[in-house]
Structure 1
Amino acid sequence: MLDSVLTFLADYWPTLVSILLLIAASAFFSGSETALTAASRARMHTLETNGDERAGVVSRLIEKRDRLIGALLIGNNLVNILASSLTTSLFLGLFGQTGVAIATLVMTVVLVIFSEVLPKSWAISAPDRFALSVSNSVRIFVGFAGPLSSGVNAIVRFILSLFGINLSDGKSMLSAHEELRSALDLLHKEGSFIKADRDRLGGLLDLEELEVSDVMRHRTAMRAINADDPPEVIVRTVLDSPFTRMPLWRGTTENIIGVVHAKDLLRALAEPDMEPEHLDISKIAQKPWFVPDTTSLKDQLNAFLRRKVHFALVVDEYGEMQGIVTLEDILEEIVGDIADEHDLEIQGVRQEADGSIVVDGSVPIRDLNRALDWNLPDEEATTIAGLVIHESKLIPEERQSFTFYGKRFIIMKREKNRITRLRIRPVDEGALAGE
C-alpha cells in the first residue's frame, strides 16, 4: 500500500502541487475580494494620512470597485476551473469514467471549504488588516487583469442596458447623512456607542432636515415685555423671568418693537442720575431680528454665529409672529437639554408607577423620542398633542383614547381646542392583535 502511494506521488506530484497552488490562489482571490469590499474607507483615509502607503493603495483600488471586483472574479474563476480540470484529468487516469464524479465531489468540498468559506471568514473578521496585507499583490494583478475586467464590465453594462438598467448612473440609495445615521444606530445596537453619544451625533446630522419651527418656543408660551408698562413693572418682569432676553411689544403682542437684554437694563439703571421712574425701555431695547419659520437649523445656526447674536423672532410666510428661537434651542438639538440654575424645573414628562408616561401636550416629539428612546414620527407634527390630532383627524375629547405606533394615547386634559395633558402607555403586540 505504501509503495503504491509513493509511486502515485512520484508520478503525479507536479499535478498535485499545481492543484494545491491553484486552491491557495483561489483562497487569495476570495479573501481579497471580501476584505477589500468590506474595508473601511474612513479607516484607510486615516491610515494614509498617517503615512501608511498600503492604505493609499487600498483606497485607490476601492475607488474603482467594479474594475477591482471584475479582476478578482476573473482570477478566481480562472484558477478554480483550472484546478477542477487538473483534478478531473488526474482522477480519470486513476478511476476511469467514475473519476469525473469523484473529482466533482472532491473539488466541490475542497473549494467551498478552503477557497470560499475559510478565506472569506478570515477576511471578514479583520477586513482592514487583511486588505492592507494583500493590497500590493492585488494591485499588481489588477494591473494585468484590469483591461480584461473593463472589457467584461462593458459587456455587462451593454446587456443590462437592454433591460433598462444603467449602471453608470447608479447612485447609493442612501444619502451620506442617512448612511452615517444608520452606522450610528448599528454601532449603538452592537454596544460600541452609548445612547447619549448616538443622540448627540444624530442631532448634529438632523440640523439640515429640521426647521426653525420645529424647535422654536411658540408665541403662546413666550414671555414678553409690554413697552407701555410702568418701569417698576418692567424691571420686575425681567427679574422674574428665567431668560436674559425678552421681546418688547407695544399695543399688541404681535407688534414686536425690540428685544430687551437684562444686562442692558441693569446698565441703564446703573447710570448716574438715572431715576427708575424715568426709564424708557424702548431706548435700551435692541433692534429685533426676524427669521422665517422655514429656515433650516443648520442655516440658522450659521446665521447666529455670523451675526454673533443668540436670539431671533420667528415669523411665518405672512409675516405673523410665531415664536422665538435662540442659539441654545439649536445647540440642545445636538447635546440635549442644557440646564442652568435659572431653568424651570418642569419638563412636562412624568413617569407613573404603572409604567405609563404623563406628558404635557406641548412637549416636542423629538424630545420625547430622545428621552425615552422611542421612534414616534415628527414629520407632520412638532408636539405630542399635534401628533395625536394629526393621527386622529379630530380634536379629541377628554378621556378619549387612540392607539397608533405601538402606543395608547389617553387624553387627560383639554383646554378649548388644545390638548394640554395626556397619558401614554405602551401596547404589547398581543393586545394589538386582539383589537
Structure 2
Amino acid sequence: MTVEFEMWMGWAALGVLILLALSAFFSGSETALTATSKARMLTLDRDKNRRAGRVLYLIEDKESLIGAILLGNNLVNILASSIAAAVFLAMFGEAGVPIATLVMTALVLIFSEVMPKTYAISNPDRMALAVSLPIRIVVIVFSPVVAGVQTIVRGVLRLLGANVEGPVLSAHEEIRGQIDLHHEEGGVVKEDRDMLGGVLDLRELTVDDVMVHRKSLIMLDIEDSPEVLMRDALNSPHTRLPLYRGDSENIVGILHARDLARALYEADGDASKVDIGAIKREPWFIPETTELLDQLSAFREKREHFALVVDEYGALRGIITLEDIIEEIVGEIEDEHDITIEGVTTQPDGSVIVDGTVPIRDINRALDWDLPDEEAVTVAGLVIHEAQTIPEAGQVFRFHGVQFEILERRRNQIQKMRIREEPEIEV
C-alpha cells in the first residue's frame, strides 16, 4: 500500500469514528429530550435556568424536534456506512460490502444506539439540559427540510385515513397514567395513589355519585314540639338536620346543633321556650348534576358545609356535605360522633360481605378493584344493571371478574351480598 492510500485510510477511519460519535449524540439526545420531566424543566425555568427554557421550547413541538434529530441521525449513519463500505471495498474487494455491513451494524448498534440511549434513560434531565443548545441549532438549520417532510408525511397519512391531529390522551389521563405507573413500580403507595386519583376525579363526578341518599337521612318535622325536636336532634350523630313541614319533600329549613345549643342556653335550659322556626337556617338546594369540583368551590364561596340535592323535578334526592367531597380525596373520615356501619366485612375465606348500598367507588378503593361505576353508583345498582333483573336471595352472578352472591333481599332492594374476585376465563 502507498503512503497516500494509508493516509486516506486513516482519515476515513477517523471520519467514521466522528460520524459514529455524532450518531450517538443524536440518539442519546432524542431519548433524553423525550424522556425528560417537563415539570422539572418548568421548575428550573422559573429559577431562570436558560438551558431549561431551551428544553421546554424544544419539547413543545416534538414533531419538529424528532424530525430534525432523525434527519441528522440518518445523514451521519448513511455517510459513515458509505465511507466504511468504500474502505472495505478497497481492502477486500467485493467481499468488503457484507463485511462493512456487519461491522457498521455492530458499531452503530452498540456505540451509537444502545450505549447513549441507556445513559439518556438513566439521566434524562441532565442530558437534556446538556444537549439543548446544539439540538436547538440543529432544529433551526434543518427546519426547512423537516417542514417539507412533515407535509409529505401528513398528506400520505390522511390519504390512508389516519388521524394525525391532536394528542391521544388528555392531560388528566396522562397524569392518571403516570400515577398508576409509579404505583405499579412501587414509587407511589396505594393511599397516595387514591388521594391523587381522587383529586382528578372531582371534575368527572357529580354530587349524586357521592351524596347521602334520602332514605339514609335523619329529618325532623318542624311541627313537633320543641322538646321532641331537641331530643331527636341531640340523639342524632349529625350537627345539621333537615326540617320539613307535613311532607318530607317540603323542606323548610336546616337545624344546626350549635344554634340549638345557643338557644337552649338563652332559654335557661327550658326547651319549651325555644323557637325552632327562629333559629332554623335557610335550606340550600343544588341540582344532582353539579360537578363535585364546582360544588367544592361553591362551599368555599358561601362558607357552607351542607346542601340538599334535588333532581330535575325538584324532588329531594339526598344531601351533600363538604366532608363527603373531602372523603373522595383522603378516604373515609370518622370522628368520635360517627356511627360506624360495617358496610364492607372481609371473611376468613377471602370473600367480602357488603351492604347493597355501599358505593362502587368505596369497594374499588377498599379492595383495589376496578368495577365500573358509569351506569350505577352502588354495588346493588351494578348487579341490577348487569343482571337486568332484581335478583332473588341465593342467586349468583359473575361479571367484571367478580362473583356476586345475593345473601339478603328486602322488597326490591338488595340488602347484603357476598363478593369475591374471580378472574374471567378467556376462551
Q: For 1:66-105, what aligned pairs fall within 5 Å after superposition?
A: 66-105=63-102
Q: Choose the corresponding residue for 2:293, options 291, 298, 310.
A: 298
Q: After the TM superposition, which residues 59-138 of structure 1 pair with which residues of structure 2 at under 5 Å, given as runs?
A: 59-138=56-135
Query: Contact 2:88–2:97 (CA<8 Å) still a contact in 1?
Result: yes
Cα deviation, 1:253-300, whole Å, max 9, x if unaligned, reads 111100000010111111156742132312211011111111110111
Which of 365, 369, 376 does residue 374 from structure 1 map onto?
A: 369
SS of 1:96's partner is helix
1:254 counterpart SS class: strand
User: How far has the Cα of 1:323 moved from its partner?
Assistant: 0.8
CA deviation map 1:129-182 (0-9, x unaligned): 111111111112222222222222223223333334464xx1122111111111
Report matched runs for 1:352-391 at 5 Å: 352-391=347-386
- Counterpart among 335, 356, 372 of residue 330 in structure 2: 335
- Of 183, 187, 196, 2:191 maps to 196
Q: Counterparts of 2:373 and 2:291 in 1: how far apart (Å)?
A: 15
- The alignment covers a number of residue pairs equal to 427
Residue equivalent to 1:344? 339
Contact 2:210 2:325 in 1 (8 A): yes
Q: CA deviation at 1:88?
A: 1.0
Residue type of the partner of 1:376? L
Contact kept in structure 2, 1:361 and 1:422, CA below 8 Å: yes
2:238 equivalent to 1:243: yes
Q: Cα deviations across residues 14-52 of structure 1 (Å, max 9, x unaligned)?
A: 111011101111111111111111212111111111232
User: Match for residue 253 of structure 1?
Assistant: 248
Q: Within the alignment, does 1:48 sit opposite 2:38 as a pair?
A: no
Cα separation, 1, equivalents of 2:278 and 2:234: 19
Consecutive aligned runs of 4 or more in structure 1 exceeding 4 Å deviation: 4-11
Structure 2 CA distance, aligned partners of 1:348 and 1:175?
Answer: 35
How far did 1:226 drift?
A: 1.1
For 2:169 and 2:213, the matched residues in 1 are separated by 34
User: What's the CA shift string for 1:49-107, capped at 9, x where partnerless?
Assistant: 12322111111111121221111111111111111111111111111121122112211
1:23 counterpart residue number? 20
User: Are the equivalent residues in 1 in contact too, given 2:64–2:147 (CA < 8 A)?
Assistant: yes
Once residues 154 and 422 of structure 2 are traced to their aligned partners in structure 1, the CA distance between those partners, rounded to angstroms, is 50
Tell me which moved more, 38-47 or 264-273.
264-273
Determine which of 160, 164, 181 is the counterpart of 1:163: 160
Paired with 2:176 and 2:167, the residues of 1 have a C-alpha distance of 15
State the Cα distance separating 1:383 from its structure 2 match.
0.7
* Native 8 Å contact 1:358 1:423 kept in 2: yes
How has the CA–CA distance of structure 1 residues 5 and 349 changed in structure 2, closer, same or farther, with 3 Å as cutoff? farther
Which residue of structure 2 aligns with residue 223 of structure 1?
218
Residue 33 in 1 paired to residue 34 in 2? Answer: no
1:128 maps to amino acid: D
Aligned 8 A contact 2:267 2:273 in 1:
no
Separation in structure 2 between the aligned mates of residue 22 and residue 327 of structure 1, nearest angstrom:
63
Kept in 2, the 8 Å contact 1:357–1:423? The answer is: yes
Q: What is the identity percentage for the equivalent residue pairs of Structure 1 and Structure 2?
A: 56
- How far residue 9 of structure 1 moved from its aligned partner, in angstroms, is 5.3
Do the aligned partners of 2:230 and 2:271 also contact (CA within 8 Å) in 1? no
Q: Distance in 1 between matches of 2:271 and 2:147?
A: 83
The answer (yes or no) to whether the contact 1:157–1:166 under 8 Å persists in 2 is no
TM-score by length of 1: 0.94
Structure 2: 5+ residue stretches without partners:
none
Kept in 2: contact 1:61–1:68 (CA 8 A):
yes
State the secondary structure of the residue aligned to 2:266. Answer: coil
RMSD of aligned C-alpha atoms? 1.9
- The SS at the match of 2:354 is strand
Unaligned 5+ segments in structure 1 are none
1:209 partner letter: E
Query: What letter is aligned with 1:35?
Result: A
Q: In 1, are the aligned partners of 2:356 and 2:415 still within 8 Å (CA)?
A: yes
Q: Match of 1:206, as an amino acid?
A: D
C-alpha distance in 1 between matches for 2:30 and 2:403: 49
Which sits farther off after the overlay, 317-326 or 103-112? Answer: 103-112
Deviations 1:197-251 (A, max 9, x none): 1101100100111111111111100001111112111111111111100000110
TM-score, length basis structure 2:
0.96
Counting only pairs closer than 5 Å after superposition, residues 305-324 of structure 1 correspond to structure 2 as 305-324=300-319
Q: 1:345 Cα shift?
A: 1.7
For the residues of structure 1 that align with 2:350 and 2:122, how far apart are their CA atoms? 42
Distance 1:131 1:75 in 2: 17
- Does 1:148 pair with 2:126? no
CA contact (8 A) 2:227 2:272 kept: yes
- Aligned amino acid, residue 264 of structure 2: L
